[in-house]
Amino acid sequence: MPKKKITELIVGTNNRGKLKEIKDLLPNYLKIYSPLDFKIKSPAENGKTFSENSSIKARYFSKKSKLICLSDDSGLEVDLLKGQPGIYSARWSGKKGDFKKAMNRVFSELNKKDKNWKQKKIRARFVCALTIFDPNRRLIRSIGKIEGSISPVMKGKNGFGYDPIFVPKGKKLTFGEMKASEKYKIDHRFKAFKKIKKFF
């Protein structure tokens, strides 16, 4: 029997920036819901890796909505900060989701490590863990990464999160300066999605 085509799903995030990016990656024929459509609050993310947190959200939102869920957990890892903020990337923005505050914290933490960091190339990467979970308990995971460096100043107003301070390897612009169409071709979320798009 041919595999039943997915016609609707819930994207397991209450982050509007992530929701928009994921929607743009998904096929147009899909009916897409967000947790806000069901008034579902986000679960506690107590995993120790991006994959664990992505799976927690996928299972939770699928159970609550009775729909297949595509969930994302992603963040910024800075080598000089020993991988921080990592899985705590969103938490660095505080309860109000203030990513200017989060980016300033990255700068502050780098200053503590090396006062001359702005004259150096500080290696970093974005990581995205995607999970598909359906009520039949099928679990599919994928991870995408993009290497780059930290800009010494915030640049650009596009994207969301830490985009204004991340310069992808081989590029001169930050994600915050890039057009969405350019960013989507190379970013961590796109790379993770490429590995699972065959399921749609």
Which pTM does this prediction carry?
0.91
Q: What kind and span of H or E run contains 101?
A: helix 99-113
Residue 188 maps to which CATH number? Answer: 3.90.950.10
- CA-to-CA distance for 196 and 198, rounded, in angstroms? 5
Encoding tokens for residue 178? 């890039």
- Whether 3 is covered by a domain: the verdict is no
Q: How many domains does one find in the chain?
A: 1
Catalytic-role residue among 73, 79, 114, 134: 73
73 is catalytic: yes
- Whether 74 is covered by a domain: the verdict is yes
Burial of 184 (0-12, 13-18, 19+ CB in 10 A): middle
Please give the residue range of the domain that contains residue 17.
8-199
The tens place of each residue's pLDDT in the chain, 200 residues long, gives 345 678 899 999 988 888 999 999 999 999 999 999 999 999 999 999 999 999 999 999 999 999 999 999 999 999 999 999 999 999 999 988 999 999 999 999 999 999 999 999 999 999 999 999 988 878 899 999 999 999 999 999 999 999 999 999 999 999 999 999 999 899 999 999 999 888 87
Identify the DSSP state of 4: P
- Whether 152 is covered by a domain: the verdict is yes
